[in-house]
Amino acid sequence: MARGTIITLPRIASPPLCRTFAAQAEKIWDDLWTARISGINRSEETITDDFLLDVWRAHPREVTTFQFNKNEESFTGADWEWWLTDGRQWVGLLIQAKRLGPKSGKYEAIRHWVQSAGMWQIDRLQQQASRKGIDPLYCFYNYCPAWPEGLTWKCCVASLKLELLGCTVAHATAVQRQLAQGGAGLPKMSRVSYPLACLVCCPGATDPDRTLPTRAYDVTARLRMMAEMGADALSKAEDIVALRDHPPSYVERLLDCPPEERPRVIEEIRHEAGDIGSLVVIREQPAV
């Protein structure tokens, strides 16, 4: 492809979660296109809520969502906390969502100073993720009316399909590096991003069974390496982030409590969990 760089990862058979995440990326792309021509704004919060609801509808047995009060979200800089598991291993992700501006073609709010914390939002996101021992990611919501000049395509799910860029993910450290080089739009961020579906689709190198947490763990490690950190920094990051046998205690408490008790438990574990927007647990069901 003359217009962009094509980089592919090994393809595997598409499990249900993979098909759902790919479909959601295409839906986000289409919804942002519809919003653009209709003049109706779609905020990051609206897109996130719709995404979580649609994924839960498709997988009510696998997905559990706990929604937090987001009054202080600007302090933590985290929209979601995800925990992905097969019942044996767990991997966590702290995620900040950003929408591509329809007029500017930039992620307009990505350089955000958090007055109450006295630091940039991206630094706060990384600080919180480090405290939890999980990776900080950016989730980008995209629509572009024309082929983005300089686009880099990285995907383990399918051959080039622009609509899969409706939702992409990148490691916060790599995003920070791109921002330092003047990149705040889709073309430059695509160099350090994968389509969101790769988190649940791509084959895992650490486990021949290619479970959900190992797939997500390996893709996240690849995203982290795109920051081109020095060997010492990369080794330190790998020491902090690892697959777990159990999620944090606050996640276990939420999973163990009945639905009617969730508001009370959320308030009780808020300090430990931080002021995240939503906590999402995805448990992959064993193949039958």
Give the tens place of pLDDT for each residue, 94-140.
999 999 998 888 998 898 888 777 888 999 999 999 999 999 999 99
- Predicted local confidence at residue 207, as pLDDT: 52
Buried b vs exposed e over 103-121: b needs ≥16 C-beta within 10 Å?
Answer: eebbbbebeeebeeeeebb
Residue 224 has a CB neighbour count (10 Å cut-off) of 23
On the question of pLDDT at 9 being above 80, the answer is no
Distance CA 118, CA 41 (A): 30
What per-residue confidence (pLDDT) applies to 70? Answer: 59
Neighbour tally for 280: CB within 10 Å: 22
Buried (b) or exposed (e) across 139-173, using 16+ Cβ within 10 A? bbbbbbeeebeebbbbbbbeeebbbbbbbbbbbbb
The whole-angstrom separation of Cα 254 and Cα 279 is 10
The answer to whether the beta carbons of residues 192 and 170 sit under 8 Å apart is yes
The whole model's pTM is what? 0.88
pLDDT at 187 over 80: yes
Strand partners, 193: 170
